[in-house]
A and B are shown apart, each in its own frame.
Chain A
Amino acid sequence: MDLASLIYLGVTFGLFVIFALIVIRTYSKKRKDTGEIAKFRMLDDD
């Protein structure tokens, strides 16, 4: 495997890790209420 392929693989893996962290953070129990509050606020009389 040459350097370019390794970098390519590394970037792909890095993106996957970032995505996994976003999913974990979004679905963490601590953030359950704050994660859903926007859908109620958008219905407020504006």
Chain B
Amino acid sequence: MEKVDYNYAIVRSFVTWSIIWGVVAVLVGVIVSLQMVDPDLNFPPYLTFGRLRPIHTNAGIYGWGVGSIFATFLFIVQRLCKVPLWSNGLAKFQLWFFNATIIASAVTLLLGYTTSKEYHEMEWPIDVMIVILWVAFAINIIMTILKRKDEQMYISLWYMMASLVGVAILFLVNSAAEPVSLFKSYSAYAGTNDANVHWWFGHNAVAMALTAPPLAMFYYFLPKSTGVPIYSHRLSIVAFWSLIFMYLWTGAHHLLWTPVPDWIQTLAMGFSVMLIAPSWGSVFNGYLSMNGQWHQMRENYLVKFLILGITFYGLQTLQGPMQAVRTFSAFIHYTDWVPAHIHMGTMGWVSMIAFGSIYYLTPRIYGKQLYSIPLANLHFWLILIGQLIWSISLWVAGVLQAGMWNAMNPDGSLTYTFMETMVEMYPYWWARAIGGVIYFIGVLVFIYNLVKTVGKGDEESSEQALAEGRA
């Protein structure tokens, strides 16, 4: 077989930097969770909850999430297409421009420059940087796919291309703004149109950055880890297209009970419920791929990460549509239930898949066996327990909060003041902070394991590494 000169150096660099930004994201998350229980931990003007919270979300989504997407896509595209990257120079430019963009975002957010649009807080000069970054990435991936050796494209490539196109469209439309100075711009849209476009972007950023890419990773790394193919490639294709057709209509479910027209809200609600089908198409495909292989959940640490990841995806995509129903939304919207939902997706689904993927990659891109499988298992349990403490405590908090907000006296006055509802939240907020600390310790175990792996002296063949990955 002809030996292909794959570029693993760029994959190694992206793995490293995505982990660095992941540490920042989780650490800042722990800090802001502590600021919620002890306001004295706010140090104005820079280190306040208001400025640190967007750094937490952006470092998590764009630094850790997108960084690990860059790493895995650049690996997967070469292996699936059986050709080297189209341009190594462009990939190197992408790496350093990625880091420059993340640093510029963090600095400007700390300084208080913000559009105030959630998940799109960065001002217009950084938007321009993000567009350049994404175009460079997209060109390299698409050109590599075009020179592939197999005509039939595996499902991961479809999800990768959808992500490239989807993010580009969403970002460009939502970025439309009129700059009035170097660090201030105003949206091109007004009022409810602005809100509608913003949440069309916001929810579909979840689709195209935090759903399609992890699915690409899951569909690639699960069969590679188990050694058996996915249950049905055709089911994955139909689930893919139905996800693409349905997702883009759902954004307005973030705007239920607002001045946005009722029919838009109803449309978003309907499509959100329909979205269960494609989501669970992938979940079932994952589970059915494990037929006869469930023993690997016990024996193969990679499978544990990947199957728990897809399980959280399944739970997330049941809970999400439920929240998109008007009556349920009326109860839980604006409560702590919502961040619990988001964190089951980010810490449970996306991060589990990313961790599993990086564990798969590391022996192959460094040519060394993983330092310690027991430590990988410890990492798994710490992040699982941390995330569950975090999510469950805030689901309970959200229901309690909603109940207290809605409680009324016989004369129609509110039973509780807002401050009384706040005081009731403290035990749950402490539980969230503790869950965050446990998760952070899990991340430190992960890093220690990888650092020790990379520092090991013994080089080995990819076959040995593969065998080790299944051990």
Contacts and interface: CB of A to CB of B under 8 A. Distances in A.
Are A and B a genuine interacting pair, yes or no? yes
Contacts, number: 58
Interface stretch (B235-243, B310-318, B401-409, B441-449): B235-243
A46 B238 CA distance: 27
B230 interface: yes
Interface of B: 1, 4, 79-80, 82, 150, 152-156, 220, 223-224, 227-230, 232-234, 237-238, 241-242, 245
A13 interface: no
A2 B231 CA distance: 47
A39 B223 contact: yes
Given A35-B233, A39-B154, A39-B232, 6 more contacts: A19-B241, A19-B242, A34-B152, A41-B154, A42-B156, A46-B80
Given A19-B241, A36-B232, A42 B227 contact: no
A36 B233 contact: yes
B71 to A, nearest CB: 18
Interface in A2-45: 15, 19, 22-23, 26-27, 32, 34-43, 45
B243 to A, nearest CB: 11
Given A35-B233, A36-B234, A38-B233, A45 B1 contact: yes
Contacts of B1: 45
Give the top 5 A-B pairs by smallest Cβ distance, nearest first: A39-B229, A39-B233, A38-B154, A38-B152, A35-B234
B244 to A, nearest CB: 9
Among B1, B154, B223, B233, the one with the most A-chain Cβ atoms within 10 Å of its Cβ is B233
Given A43-B224, A43-B229, A37 B241 contact: no
Given A15-B245, A46-B79, A38 B155 contact: yes
Contacts of A42: 80, 154, 156, 220, 223-224, 229
Contacts of B152: 34, 37-38, 41
A9 B1 CA distance: 53
A43 B227 contact: yes
Nearest to A28: B234
Contacts of B238: 22-23, 26-27
